Structures are given as C-alpha cells and as structure tokens.
A = this chain, B = another copy of it.
Amino acid sequence: MKEYNIAVLGATGVVGQQMIQALEEYGIPVRTLLPLASARSAGKKISFRGKEIEIKEATSESFAGMDYVLGAVEASESREFAPHIVRSGAVYIDNSSAFRMDPTVPLVVPEINGDDAFRNNGIIANPNCSTVITLMAVAGICKISPIKTMIASTYQAVSGAGINGLRELEAQNRALAAGAKPEAKVFPTQIAENVIPYISSYTENLYTAEEMKMQNEGRKILHLPELGVTCTCVRVPVMRSHSISVVIRTERKVSIDEAKAAVRAFPGCILAEDITDEWGKRDYPTPLDTSGIDTVMVGRIREDLTDPNGLALWCCGDQIRKGAASNAVQILRHLISG
C-alpha cells in the first residue's frame, strides 16, 4: 500500500490534536507524520500510533516532501502558509474559513460532494462545523427534492471556540459552585448557566459571519446557488457537539417516511429512533450522545406547519470530529482511495 507524508499544521489545538487521532483511527497509511505548530510549542511531543513525535515550528520551508497538509490554524495563518504548501507540491486540506468561498477551491463534505475534492488546485477547504452537521442531516432529503430554503437555530458547544472556550466554561462553573462571580474573556458575557446569541462578528446584513456560513457554504456544498438560509447561531453551555433545529423547504413535498428513509440511507448519519433501545423511550439525540463519535444523529422529523413542502428536524454532531477534524481526514481518505 502506498504511504504518505502528512503534516498537521496547528497540531496542538483542539482540532489539530483530533486530526492526528483521526489519522490513526481511520488507518490512513502514513509514512511520516509531521506535527507543526508555533515556535512556542516546538519541541513538545505528541503521540501517534504509540510513538512520541516531536512538534516542529511551522515555517515557509516546513512542507518540503509532504504529500498532504491538514490545516487547523486561524484563517490569517492559513493564508500565510497556503502559498508555501502549494509551492511544495502538497495538497492542503484547510479547516479555516480562508479559502472556503474561493471559486477555485473545492469545499467538501465527502458524503455529499466528495468528488469535488478531485477538482483542486492544491487547496481543499473543510466547511464550517455547524454547516457540516446540518448539511449531513439534510443532504439525503435534498437528493429526493432540492432544498430551496432552510431556517436554522443552532445550539453550539463552547469547544467550538477552542480549548480556551472549554476552559472558560469550566472556570465559570467552578466560580458559580464557589459562589464567586464568573469572569468572561473568551465569550462576550457569562456562558455558564446562560446562552449567547452571538458567535464571531456582525456582517453588513446584521447576521454574524458564523450565521452567513450556513447559506454561503451550503450553496457551494449542495450545488444549490439559489439556496436561502436564515440562521441564528447561539452558544450554549455544552462542552462538545453542536445541535441544530432546522426547517427545510424542498421543491416538492417530501413525506416524513421518505425523509426518515433518506436519513437512514445516508452514510455517516443515524436516525436516533433506530437506537432508542440504549436510551429508553428517548427517540431524539442530544449533544452528549454524539460527543466523541463521527456520526451525525437526526431526530424530531415533523411536517412544517407553515409550509406544505417543509420539514422540521433536529440534529447533533461532534463539531470537533465530523464538524472539523474527521471531515478533513475523510477528505484525505477520499483523495487517496479515489
């Protein structure tokens, strides 16, 4: 079997660490793993297939000899490193938002538009986490009849803001337990025992950048340039896994039974009612159910009461796994197996 030299850019972050774990879990044939991070982390060790591997400082010269680079850094850093990666001849699978809307860069969820990945010029973008999870839940239905509009409200875990988001909720929980005033630095106000309807930054139309990703990236991934999406992104005091309440309108009416069959048949998706034996009577997923796994779970499929061609549903997925790291490694797997 052919083996590949693979670098992980941003190897110390939540997503970078998960990428390294996913490379191992998916049995990707790795000849050399090169974990890259800032100078501050260089010299630290990460574990891969039972061996300790030293983290190197990421520089413009880091990528020589690499076949693939998985990116888990901020958009600004991604833009800085991308030309060097492409110049080295490696294919860059980037989790940041830097290149997602670039028309020359495929934006890929392998189960939905995997073959787009082959039409790359050296860069492939990994979509926004809430977008991946929502689209995984509805893409099977979209194959029955194209989706015209979606109205989504999200319930996003604090780890979507990285390790500092996780630590802030933990610290605020401890403060509340001790009767102290929680301090907010990562999030704009207290997130413990609260919810915050604001993630990232406002755009001109008063939606946040995070909310617009669902429409912009959704159009590109589903190949539906006219798709309209109204999204409200809300941070909730959950450690891991995003949940989305979504209402979709399709061109023709899709029945509840058709929708359930489509979710069941879609790779990487589980209809929660099929696994209720483990949950007692519960036939819907919660974010705890999907934490630590790559599967997106779907439940609460109902007819939209405001439109005859609409369906309401609820879905949960681990935004660090399927919403980021696992999706990137699945793109890599698709490329090497294609």
CA distance in complex: A306, B188 (Å): 29
Chain B positions within 8 Å of A239 at CB level: 193
For residue A88, CB closer than 8 A to chain B, the reply is: no
CA distance in complex: A277, B198 (Å): 18
Partner of A286, one of B196, B306, B312: B196
Q: With A286-B189, A300-B206, A302-B206 given, is the CB distance from A247 to B234 under 8 Å?
A: no
| Contact flags A293-320 to B (C-beta < 8 A → 1, else 0) | 0000001111111110010101000000
Chain B positions within 8 Å of A82 at CB level: none
CA distance in complex: A197, B229 (Å): 22
Within 8 A of B (CB), among A219-249: 228-230, 232, 234, 236-239, 243, 245, 247, 249
- Please give me the residue from chain B that is nearest to A241 by CB atom: B194
For residue A284, CB closer than 8 A to chain B, the reply is: yes
Chain B positions within 8 Å of A238 at CB level: 193-195, 237
For residue A177, CB closer than 8 A to chain B, the reply is: yes
Chain B positions within 8 Å of A145 at CB level: none
Chain B positions within 8 Å of A249 at CB level: 306
For residue A279, CB closer than 8 A to chain B, the reply is: yes
For residue A153, CB closer than 8 A to chain B, the reply is: yes
For residue A336, CB closer than 8 A to chain B, the reply is: no
Partner of A300, one of B197, B215, B245: B197
For residue A150, CB closer than 8 A to chain B, the reply is: yes
CA distance in complex: A237, B215 (Å): 28
Please state if A232 and B312 are interface contacts (CB–CB under 8 Å). yes
Within 8 A of B (CB), among A135-175: 149-151, 153, 155, 173-174
Question: What distance in Å separates the Cβ of A130 from its nearest Cβ neighbour in chain B?
Answer: 13
CA distance in complex: A207, B234 (Å): 23
CA distance in complex: A190, B151 (Å): 27
Please state if B245 and A197 are interface contacts (CB–CB under 8 Å). yes
Chain B positions within 8 Å of A150 at CB level: 306
Chain B positions within 8 Å of A281 at CB level: 188
Please state if A151 and B195 are interface contacts (CB–CB under 8 Å). no
Question: What distance in Å separates the Cβ of A142 from its nearest Cβ neighbour in chain B?
Answer: 15
For residue A205, CB closer than 8 A to chain B, the reply is: yes
Q: With A188-B282, A302-B206 given, is the CB distance from A193 to B230 under 8 Å?
A: no
| Contact flags A196-211 to B (C-beta < 8 A → 1, else 0) | 1110000001110000
CA distance in complex: A197, B151 (Å): 17
CA distance in complex: A173, B175 (Å): 12
Please state if A153 and B195 are interface contacts (CB–CB under 8 Å). no
Please state if A230 and B310 are interface contacts (CB–CB under 8 Å). yes
For residue A30, CB closer than 8 A to chain B, the reply is: no
CA distance in complex: A303, B193 (Å): 29
Partner of A306, one of B151, B189, B280, B284: B151
- Please give me the residue from chain B that is nearest to A238 by CB atom: B193
12 contacts between A and B (CB under 8 A): A153-B153, A174-B177, A188-B280, A189-B282, A193-B238, A193-B239, A197-B300, A198-B300, A205-B303, A205-B305, A230-B312, A232-B245
